[in-house]
Amino acid sequence: MGKKDKFTYIIGGKAGEGVKKAGTAASNLFTKMGRKTFQMDDYQSLIRGGHNFSVVTTSKEKVYSHYKKGDLVVNIDDRSYKKHKEHLADEGVMVYDSGETEDEEGIGIPIGEIAKDYTKPDLIKGVAGLSILSVVIGLNKDELLDQVKNEYSKGVEENLSFAEKIYEKAEEKIDKRFELDEGEEQMPVMSGNESISLGAYSAGLDIYIGYPMTPASSILHFFASHKDELQVMPIHPENEIAVANMAIGGTVPGARVMVGSSGGGMALMEEAISLAGMSESAVLFVLSSRPGPSTGVPTYTEQGDLNFALNQGHGEFPLIVGSPGSVEEAFYLSGEMLELSWKYQTPAILLTEKHLSESRMNVSLELSENGWAEAKKSSSKEGEYGRYEKTDDGISPLKFPPSEEVIKWNSYESDERGITTEDPKEIKKMHDKRREKNETLIFDLQEKETVNKFGDKGPIIFTYGSTTMSVREALKLADIDARIIQPRYLRPFPVWELEDHMDEEAIVVEQSSTGQFATLLREKCSIKPKTVLRKYDGRAFEPSRLADDLKEAIS
C-alpha cells in the first residue's frame, strides 16, 4: 500500500448516470475521514447524453482548488475514457466499463452489464464509482455499504446490491491501493451558492427571488428545499425583469430581498437596478458569471462580467460591488453586503463565477460573526415624514407601512417628500444627497476589511474572486513565497488599501481575455502589472499548470 496525502478522484460518464452524485459521495466520504476536500463538477448544457465528470481532490491540509491529474479515474462510458486517459496521474489507476471500452490500457469492469439487472440501469451506474473508490483506498465492504446507505436514500436495497457486486469485481481486478491517513476534524462541505444563501440568511434575508439561470440556479433550489427550516420565501416569477421589479417592491414594506442570475439575466435587470438606485431600494443582486456574451457557455466559468457588474445602471447613484475569494468568504461577504445595502438603501452586486458558485469545499462558519441588515428608522411626527430627507450622511430615515404617514417611493427625481420634481434646485439637492451617501459609504468601508492579503514576502500577485482559490493552491503546491492581494470590494474600489503598492511590480491573474481586472488596477491605482496571466476557455486555472506559469512570471 502506498501512502498518499493529496489524492484526486475523477469520475466521468453521460448526463443522467449519477456522476455528480458519485463525486459528492466521494467528497462526503473524505470529509467523514476528517480530510479536507475540493469538488468541481464539469457538465455540458444538456439534460441527457452530455459528457459529465466530477473531480474531487482531498488532502489532510486545506484544498483550495481541484487538480486535473487523477490518482483514480473511473470512466462509465467510452467517451469518458477517451477524454480522461490523458488525465491519469503517474502511478494512477484507470478503470473503465468493459462493456463500453475494449482492449484499452487500464482495468475493465462490467459496470453496464451488472447495472442491467436493476430498475434504473443508467442512474445506478454512478454508485459504481463509490465502490471502486472504496476498493482503491482500502475500505472494507461494510464501510462501503454504510456510506451507500448515507448517500443514496432512494432505492436503497438495489443500490446496496449493486455496490456490493461492483466492489467484489473491483477487488478481484485492482491490486493497487492508496492509503489515505485520516484527519483530526470533520468540517462540513458546502458549495459557493449554499454559502452565499446562508450568509444572506444569517443577516436577516426574508425573500429570495430568482428565475433559473446557470450557474446561479441552485440558490433558488436551496431556498426552495429549506423553506421550512430557514423561513426565507423563495419566489420563481415568469422572467428576470419580473424578478428585479418584484424585489424592489418587496423592500418598500421592509422585506430584505436577494435575487440571483447570470449575465444574460442580469442584463434584463439593468433598468431595475437603476430604479433601485433612484428609489433608494436595498436589493442584493447575485451575479454568477458564465463565459459570454449572450447565452455564451452556460455551464462553465469566466470573469468576463467584471466591467458589466461595475457599470450596472444608468445615471449616478451609489452601487456596491463585492466578490468573494473562497466558498467560506462567500458566507461572510453576502451577509455583509446585505447589511450595507440596507444601511445605505442602495443596490449591491455580489459578483462571483461558476467555479465558486458550484464547487464544494470544507468550511468553518460562525453565523454570529455576520451582522444584521437594518435600515435607519425615522422618528418623525405625523405630517413631517420625507422619504428622501436630506441628511448629513445622505442616508434618509425610513418608515414602513402600516403608517399614518404618506410613504412615497419614486422612480422620478423628487423632493424630500418623494413628490416628482423638475426644479433645478431640487434636482441638484438630490444629486448631492446621493453623492454624499456614496462618500459616507467609502468612509465606512475604510473601517472594514476590503482587501485580503495572504503571505508576507515575495512578489505581489493581484487576483480576485474564485481565481484566488486557484492561486492559493498553486503557491502552496510549488512552495512559492509570494504576497497575494485580493480586493473583496470592487466598487467603491479600495484605493486606500492599495496605495502602498503603486510603485511595485506585480503579477495579475484573472479569467478574462482582455485583462479587465488589470485595467481596473491601472485606472484606479496606477498599478502597472509586469505580467497578466489570463485564462478564458471556460475552465478554471489548474494549480499545477498555474504554478509553472507563476514561476516563469516571477523569474
- pLDDT digits 0-9 by tens, 230-285: 999 999 999 999 999 999 999 999 999 999 999 999 999 999 999 999 999 999 99
CA 270 to mean position of chain CA atoms: 21
pLDDT, mean of residues 166-171: 97
pLDDT, mean of residues 323-338: 98
The identity of residue 109, as a single letter, is I
Looking at 350, 369, 388, the residue that finishes a domain is: 369
Are residues 235 and 172 located together in one domain of the fold? no
pLDDT tens sequence across 91-125 = 999 999 999 988 778 999 999 999 999 999 999 99
Strand, helix or coil at 491? strand
Are residues 147 and 247 located together in one domain of the fold? no
In a domain, 398, yes or no: no
Average per-residue pLDDT in the chain? 96
Are residues 358 and 480 located together in one domain of the fold? no
| Distance in angstroms (rounded) separating the CA atoms of residues 37 and 29 | 10
Give the pLDDT confidence score for residue 1 in this predicted structure.
47
Burial class of 233 by CB neighbour count within 10 A (0 to 12, 13 to 18, 19+): middle
| Distance in angstroms (rounded) separating the CA atoms of residues 354 and 297 | 11
In a domain, 87, yes or no: yes
In a domain, 402, yes or no: no
Give the pLDDT confidence score for residue 367 in this predicted structure.
81
Contact assessment for residue 176 and residue 133, using Cβ atoms and an 8 Å cutoff: no
Report the CATH number that the domain containing residue 158 is assigned in CATH.
3.40.920.10
Are residues 206 and 307 located together in one domain of the fold? yes
Are residues 252 and 202 located together in one domain of the fold? yes
| Distance in angstroms (rounded) separating the CA atoms of residues 25 and 19 | 10
- Structurally, the chain folds into a number of domains equal to 3
Count CB atoms within 10 A of the CB of residue 318.
25
Q: Is the pLDDT of residue 430 over 60?
A: yes
Angle, helices 240-251/263-279, rounded to nearest 10 degrees = 30
Give the pLDDT confidence score for residue 404 in this predicted structure.
85
Count CB atoms within 10 A of the CB of residue 83.
16
In a domain, 234, yes or no: yes
Are residues 104 and 161 located together in one domain of the fold? yes
Looking at 369, 393, 424, the residue that finishes a domain is: 369
| Distance in angstroms (rounded) separating the CA atoms of residues 520 and 29 | 42
Give the pLDDT confidence score for residue 422 in this predicted structure.
97
Give the pLDDT confidence score for residue 369 in this predicted structure.
85
In a domain, 426, yes or no: no
Are residues 159 and 23 located together in one domain of the fold? yes
Are residues 74 and 138 located together in one domain of the fold? yes
pLDDT, mean of residues 42-67: 94
pLDDT tens sequence across 150-163 = 999 899 999 999 99
Give the pLDDT confidence score for residue 3 in this predicted structure.
66
Strand order in the sheet with 483-487: 451-454, 483-487, 460-462, 506-510, 531-534
Q: Which domain holds residue 542?
A: 451-554
In a domain, 444, yes or no: no
Looking at 134, 154, 180, the residue that finishes a domain is: 180
Are residues 207 and 173 located together in one domain of the fold? no
Are residues 194 and 323 located together in one domain of the fold? yes
pLDDT tens sequence across 360-386 = 999 999 888 899 999 999 988 777 899
Band of the pLDDT at 521, cuts 50, 70, 90?
very high
Report the CATH number that the domain containing residue 483 is assigned in CATH.
3.40.50.920
Are residues 222 and 113 located together in one domain of the fold? no
pLDDT tens sequence across 461-497 = 999 999 999 999 999 999 999 999 999 999 999 999 9
In a domain, 175, yes or no: yes
Are residues 197 and 176 located together in one domain of the fold? no
In a domain, 383, yes or no: no
